[in-house]
Structure 1
Amino acid sequence: VEMNARGLRIPLLLLLVTVVAMANVTYIQRWGGFKEKATSTKNMNSTLHFFIQFYNNASNDTYLFRVQKLIQSQMQLTTGVEYFITVKIGRTKCKKNETKKASCPLQSSKMKKSLICTSLIYTVPWANYYQLWNNSCQDHR
């Protein structure tokens, strides 16, 4: 009896791995991938607001940055909404420790700095939930 149980272990393990692999393929295909769709302006604005707040909190720069331009936006519906965005951000004249002004002008002198950032942001807009899954920024001249 012991030899039969050992003999069944490997086929059962292979069957389990196959079922899990097939389930993952079905799960991935169900979402349909990212699409360049017109998204709700309200959802996009709150997503960009989340992004720039996250960036400013994580940045070591003395000055705040703000979004200058939304270059590209793709979305995918999952358990929430995933946004894959590319934005141009610029350094403002407002320092982090100052009172937040409604509108901070961009730096125009030698302090001028712009970055192009590509980010993957997961949101559940109806629950006001945002999470940055991936972000990469490069200097832009």
Structure 2
Amino acid sequence: MFQQVTLLLGLMVLGTQVWSIRYEFIDISKNLNYFVMSVEFAVFQYNEDNKDEYAYKLLRVRQSQRKRFSWMFLMDLEMGRTICKKHEEDIENCPLQEGQGEKKVRCTFLVDAIPMVTKFTLLNSTCIDK
């Protein structure tokens, strides 16, 4: 009886450890191809969902992580408000607003990628003004 209880407890502890390892996020290179594409998607989606008429562009990637055994990316981004409208071409080369119009945001995005079909889904986003 004692051996069965010990075995059961051991399996429960092992199962918990495997589960927590499987679902944790790990740091990755900011230059990883699918991460870069996920960042571009997140910034695009932010601009689409934001009510501001001006586009925001990426200023800095503060954190880059991937969920272990998946293509789910967690990113902490800093973005700035540009002088360009949302749907203008080449927002990356658009200057930032200065003075009263200057605005920066810091956002955390969770993006799920399906690389084989180049599909991205924004699972969660949280942004704060800086």
Instruction: Tell me which of 29, 36, 52 is aligned to 1:38.
Output: 29
Structure 1: unaligned runs, 5 residues or longer: 1-23
Match for 1:111: what amino acid?
G
Could you say which residue in structure 2 is the equivalent of 1:101? 90
Taking structure 1 as the reference length, the TM-score comes to: 0.71
CA distance change for structure 1 residues 32 and 134 in 2, over 3 Å: closer, same or farther? closer
SS state at 1:67 partner:
strand
Taking structure 2 as the reference length, the TM-score comes to: 0.77
Could you say which residue in structure 2 is the equivalent of 1:58? 49
Higher normalized contact order (CA 8 Å, seq sep 6+, divided by chain length): 2
Instruction: Tell me which of 114, 117, 124 is aligned to 1:134.
Output: 124
Query: How many pairs were matched up?
Result: 115
1:39, 1:110 → 2: CA distance? 32
Match for 1:101: what amino acid?
D
Q: Percent identity?
A: 24
Q: Deviations over 1:83-128 (max 9, x none)?
A: 111000110010125x313511111121000001011111112320
Bigger CA radius of gyration: 1
Please show how residues 1-141 of structure 1 align to structure 2 within 5 Å: 28-29=19-20, 31-38=22-29, 41-78=32-69, 80-97=70-87, 99-101=88-90, 103-140=93-130
SS state at 1:69 partner:
strand
